[in-house]
Structure 1
Amino acid sequence: MTDRDLVEYLGDLGVAPREAEAFQVLLQSGQRTVGQLGAYLGWDCEEAKKTVRHLMDLGLVTVGGSHRSTVSPAEPSIALDRLAHARSAEVQQAHLAALHAYREYRRCTGSQSTDELVEVVTGPQIVDRIWQFERAAESEVARFDSPPYHTDGGANPIEVDNLERGVKYRVVYSSSAVQNSAYYAVNIQPCIAAGEEARVLTAVPVKLTVFDRRLAIVSMSSVEAESNESLLLVRPSSLLTALLGLFETAWSSGYPMHLSAQVPPALRPLQRRILELLGTGVTDDTIAQLLGISRRTLSRHMEHLYLLAGAANRFQLALYAARKKWI
Structure 2
Amino acid sequence: MKDTTVLPVLTGHGLPADADVAYRALALFGPCDLAELVRRVGLSRPRLRAALSALADVGIAMQIAEPATGRRRAHATARWAVMPPELVVDKLREQYGRRHARASVTDLMNAARSCPGVRVVPQATATERRSYLLDQARHEHLVMYTDLAFDTEVARGAVPSARRRHERGVRLRTLALADSRSPRLPAPDLALLDGEHRRAGDLPFHVAIIDRSVAFLPLDDDDAAAGCLEVTHPRLVNGLCALYERQWATATRPLIPTARQHALLGLLAKGHTDVSAAQRLGVSARTIAHEVRALMDHYRVTSRFQLGLVLAITWDDLDIPPQGDQTLHG
TM range (shorter): 0.3 to 0.5
Higher RCO structure, 1 or 2 (CA under 8 Å, sep 6+):
2
TM-score by length of 2: 0.43
TM-score by length of 1: 0.43
